Structure 1
Amino acid sequence: MTAPDLADLEALALVAAARSFRGAAARSGLSASSLSDAVRRLEARLGVRLLNRTTRSVAPTEAGLRLLERLRPALAEVRAALDVVNGFRDSPTGTLRLNVPGIVGRLMLPRILPPFQAEHPGITVEVTADDQLIDVLGAGFDAGVRYGEMLEQDMIAVPLGPRVQRYALAAAPSYLERHGSPGHPRDLLGHACLRYRFLSGARPAWEFERAGQVVRVDPSGPLLANSIEMILAGAAAGLGIVFSFEDLVAPLIAEGRLVALLPDWWGEFPGPFLYCHDRRLMPAPLRAFIDHLRGPHGRW
């Protein structure tokens, strides 16, 4: 049996990761038909079905799963080995794929990316803003940005954005006129509170800290949403109390649309980190981005 074509193996990995030929085509820039031809050619050469295809989805067979388990790290090493040449350019080229929380996409990357891309015009940055806790590297991204995650031994973490952040508590003047102001975090249990909920269904408790005392409350209210814009708009309209990133709430406080509440209880927490595999052959676009974050332009 002759060795399969490397491009056909790449096509299999792309389709399996996307769970569809159309999704893989959109991610890779190839046509769905060419990817389908590549997988059929690979299956014919190996003499075994690798993907189960239905009108709605594509999923690896048992043989396909076993092949992909060994194939993905091997393909990553091949791509990284070829990318070594990229490091000898004055400025590397290629694509950098990042998965970041929504707050990082709104507040931090708009400041970081323009100077980085001005320095490296040959690098295309693909950003997916997603608050779900997915396997970022397993989903095909080069790196992820997260808050406070435990990293495995083969991972590296690079600070991104401000090293200290806070959550701010606030409400509109019209709400406070009707309901009064809380004097302690536990008083929030008697107030209308606007809550953020992740797509997974998780609804983080509100945590406050003062002089070493930590208070966690799980208040309720008239609005529960996975859109912080909707929650902020509801708060500004007097619907209830909001508890969110200070950088998002502060402009509304400065405009007088919201009033800060219990500022002595706004606890601090570490800023986010970019994380990726600590591998010997790192893609040149990712290496350039890490160098940028570690240099003077990447300091907050």
Structure 2
Amino acid sequence: MPDPNLADLDAFVAVARARSFRGAAKLQGASASALSDALRRLEARLGARLLNRTTRSVTPTEAGARLLERLGPAVREIADALAAVNDSADSPAGTLRLNAPTVVARHVLPDIVARFLAAYPGISLEVETNDSFIDVLAEGFDAGIRYEERVERDMVAVPIGPCRQRFVLAGSPAYLAARGVPRHPRDLLGHACIRHRFASRVTAQWEFERDGETIRIAAAGPLIATTPELEVHTARAGLGLVCTFKEYLRDGLADGTLVPLLQDWLPDFSGPRLYYANRRHMPAPLRAFVDFIKADIR
């Protein structure tokens, strides 16, 4: 029986990492049925079942897990070696896949992306938003952007966008006239607070800090949402207080429909960082993007 071809092995690695034929197909630029066919060919040639498939999940079998452990780094090395062939400083080409938080995708990346793509017309950029920390390589991305998270031993982090950012607590003039102005974070327990829920289903606590004292408030109010724009609109309508990235509140603060509160309790923090694997052969699109970001810093 002939040896498995590289494409089928690559399909197995993609599906095993994504734990989904549909997710792997999206990252690979292929159809789910094509990946399924590749897996069937590979399992037939090896005479072993590599993935357990149900209608809800795809998980490696014991044999599949052993193969993935050995095969994953090898496939990555092959991809890196092929990318190195294309590593031309003058005209890098290919696809760059980034994963970023929503606020970065909406308020930091637009200007950077427009200038980067204009400078490198041979590169195609894919940006996916995700507000939780993920293993970018295991999920099929070339690099990720996050705030202050721990960087793994083999990862490199480079600042991208603003060096410092901050949260702002704000309410409308009408709301403050009716309910009063909070003078201390604990006063918020008596206010209507508009809260944010992450994709993980965790509802964010509000955290305040001053002179070494940290206060976390489990606020309550009329709205919990996953969309910052909805939260801000509700606050501008006078239905409660909102606490979020200043970028989301900029228009309301500028036109006076929102008033900042307790700003001495909300210090600024480090801006986002681009992080990627520290490896010998960096794909040409990623190398071009990292160099572009470093030039922006300079």
TM-score, normalised via structure 2 length: 0.94
Corresponding residue number in structure 1 for 2:26: 26
Q: State how far apart, in whole Å, the 2-side matches of 1:16 and 1:152 are.
A: 22
Q: Which runs of 5+ in 2 are unaligned?
A: none
Aligned to 2:297: 299
**SS of residue paired to 1:88:** coil
Which residue is equivalent to 2:42? 42
* In 1, Cα distance between equivalents of 2:99 and 2:20: 20
Match runs of 1:35-184 below 5 Å: 35-88=35-88, 90-184=90-184
- Partner residue in 2 for 1:208: 208
CA distance, structure 2, for counterparts of residue 150 and residue 55 of structure 1:
35
Partner of 1:262: 262
TM-fit CA distance, 1:132? 2.3
- SS of equivalent to 1:170: strand
| 1:165, distance to aligned residue in structure 2 (A) | 0.8
Q: In the comparison of the two structures, how many residue pairs are matched?
A: 298
TM-score by length of 1: 0.93
2:290 corresponds in structure 1 to 290
Query: Structure 1 residues 278 and 224, CA, compared in 2 at 3 Å: closer, same or farther?
Result: same
Deviation at 1:67, TM superposition (A): 0.5
TM-aligned CA deviation for residue 40 of structure 1: 1.6
Map of 1:281 onto structure 2: 281
| Displacement after TM superposition at 1:196 (Å) | 1.0
Residue equivalent to 1:187: 187
Q: After superposing the two structures, state which structure 1 stretch, 165-174 or 51-60, moved more.
A: 51-60
Residues 115-165 of structure 1 deviation map (CA, whole Å, 9 limit, x = unaligned): 111111111111111112222221111111111111122110000111111
SS at match of 1:87: coil
Partner AA of 1:201 in structure 2: R
Structure 1, gaps ≥5 residues long: none
Distance in 2 separating the partners of 1:22 and 1:227: 25
Offset of residue 74 of structure 1: 0.9
CA RMSD of aligned residues (A): 1.8
Deviation at 1:206, TM superposition (A): 1.9
C-alpha distance in 1 between matches for 2:165 and 2:154: 27
Give the Cα–Cα distance (whole angstroms) in 2 for the partners of residues 262 and 31 of structure 1. Answer: 52
Following the alignment from structure 2 to structure 1, what is the Cα–Cα distance between the partners of residues 37 and 204?
A: 46
